[in-house]
Structure formats: structure tokens, C-alpha cells
Amino acid sequence: MFERLSEEARQRLKRLTLEMAGDRAPALEALAQRSNGEFGVDPFGFDPDYALSAVAPFVWLYKKYFRVETHGIERVPSGRVFLVGNHAGQIPIDGAMVGVAMLLEHDPPRLVRAMTEKWAASLPYVSTLFARSGQIVGTPENCRRLLQMGEVVMVFPEGVKGISKLWPERYQLKDFGLGFMRLALETGTPIVPVAIIGSEEQAPALLNLRSVGKLIGFPALPVTVTPLPLPAKYRLYFGDPLTFSGSADDEDTELDKKVRVVKTTLQGLIQQGLEERKNVFW
């Protein structure tokens, strides 16, 4: 019975997504038909049809709450590509907004595969929701596989350090990991930097109770000023694709030089976005 109930809820959510998508609905439906085997999922457990239902609340947030504005989304090339963004806002809504933008604004619509924290795979319901909607535990092997399949993969090289930034550090990029560059070189994947403006204001935090978080198994525990995310206006700036050449087995210092290029470009885009912004909320 529960199964039928949840199936009904799922169909309703899917209709909601398609309604909000407006004239993009047929393109989205075509995407959901992507062949996915006799049990409705691909080998990763991804079900595009399910993803359209799961994305409904985020489409609402995108349209009505954060009123997202995108710039330069046509710069995202077809085929395998890395989207590299700045991480902020205590809860990973930023990634979801980029994902919705690629569904609603990019032509043709593309389903973004994000790399999640390993922690997520140990959470009930969350782990299943993530798997069905195409979010995969962020191991290098998984990422390599997705790129080889020609997918668009969202990464936040700052990791948890980025998302749990405190208010005084907003829009300052933390150290970047090198893993994404190694994979980009290995698979010949272009990198599109994506500056996300608005995420820092959605949930300002003044302190991070990391040690308490550790006790309950959370990677970070920022204490936010407001219980719910604030309706800051989101602006997404997509940069030109960057391609790098070199060996994936180079010394870390070599890779770091290339990563720095990405970081500098992204910081530039962020600066541009902040300058163009007149008001945080509209």
C-alpha cells in the first residue's frame, strides 16, 4: 500500500515539475525516456523518470524562491564536462540550482550528475533518493566512469570546507582539491567554472561546532542565524570551457598550477557577479 502511495506522490511531483517547466516539458519528458533497462534504472541505480519527480521541490525553489538568473549557460559544451563551482550555504542547494538550470535553461536539457559525500551513502532514504536521481558517491573511479559515459559532472573542489564557510569568509574560495584536475587530464574533459552568487546569503553562519558535529557523525555543524534558508536571489555565471593538457600522473605542484588557473578564473567570475549585483534579495 505504501508503495502505491509513494508511487502516486511521485507521479504528482513529476507533473509538478513538468508544469513548472512550461514549454520545456516535452524536452524533459524525452530525457526521462532515456533507456534504463528492464528494472527502470541504469547500472548506477539512476532513474531519470524518478529524477524528474525528485527535482520538483528544487524547480520550485529555483523559480519562486531563489528566482535564479543564469548567464552564459550556452557555454557548457556537449559531451563530457566538469562544472566547477564555489560551494556555500551550509546545505548543498547550490549544486541543485545548477542542476535545475541545466534542465530548464540549457539546450538540450541535461541531467547533472553530482558527486556526493561518502557520508550520504550511509543515510537512510537520502542514499536511495540520491542514487535514483543520479547522485553518486564521490570516488575517483565513479567520476571517471561518468565522464567516460559523456555525462556532465558537478564538482565543488572546496568540499565541506567550502559549504560550511562562516559569514566573514563569504565568496572567498577555500583550497581546491586536485582530484578533479587529475581526472580532467586523464579523460580529456573540459572544465566550465560556475560562479554561484546568492548561496552565501541563504544561510549565514557565525560559528561551526565541528566537534559536536563529529559526535553525531556530521562532517560539519555550522550554526546558522536563521532556521530556514533566506530567499536570496541566485545568480549563476557560467565561464568559458577551460581545457588543459598534460599528464594526470604529474607531480602535485604541476597539477596545482593548473588548478590555480581554474580557481582564479572562478574567483574572477564571482567578483564579476558580485559587482553586477545591486541587491542581495532581488
Partner 1 sequence: MSTEARQVVVVTGISGNLGRTLTKLLHRTERIVGLDRRPFAGAPKDVELFQLDLRKKKAEDVFRIHDVKAVIHMGIMHDPRMSSEEHHSFNVVGTTRVLDAVAKYGVKKVVVLSSANVYGPSPDNSNFLSEDAPLMAASRFSGVRDLIEVDMLAHGFFWRHPDIETVILRPVHIVGPSIRNAPSNYLRLRYPWVLAGFDPMLQLVHQEDAARAMVEALRPGLKGVYNVVGPGEVPLSAVLRELGRTPIPVPHPIARPLLGTLFRYRLANFPPPELDHIQFLCMVDGSRWTADVGWVPGHSMKDTIRSVDGERAAA
Minimum Å gap between C-beta 53 and partner 1 is 16
Q: The cell 557523525 sits on which residue?
A: 217
Q: How is residue 75 written as a grid cell?
A: 557555454
Q: What angle do CA 195, 198, 204 make, to 5 degrees?
A: 120
Residue ranges in contact with partner 1 by CB under 8 A: 37-41, 43-45, 118-119, 121-128, 131, 136-137, 139, 141-142, 145
84 near 43, Cβ under 8 Å?
Answer: no
C-alpha span between 187 and 2 (Å, rounded): 43
Nearer to partner 1, 127 or 272 (CB): 127
222-224 vs 235-238, strand pairing mode: unpaired
DSSP 235-282: EEEE---B---S-TTS-HHHHHHHHHHHHHHHHHHHHHHHHH-S-S--
Is-contact 195 273, C-beta < 8 A? Answer: yes
C-alpha cell, 3: 508503495
What is the distance, to the nearest Å, from the Cα of residue 239 to the centroid of all Cα atoms in its chain?
A: 16
Which H or E run contains 69? Answer: strand 69-71
Distance, CA of 156 to CA of 165 (rounded, Å): 13
Closest contact distance (angstroms) between CB of 124 and partner 1 is 3
Q: Is 253 helix (H, G, I), strand (E, B) or coil?
A: helix
Closer to partner 1 by CB, 146 or 266: give it.
146
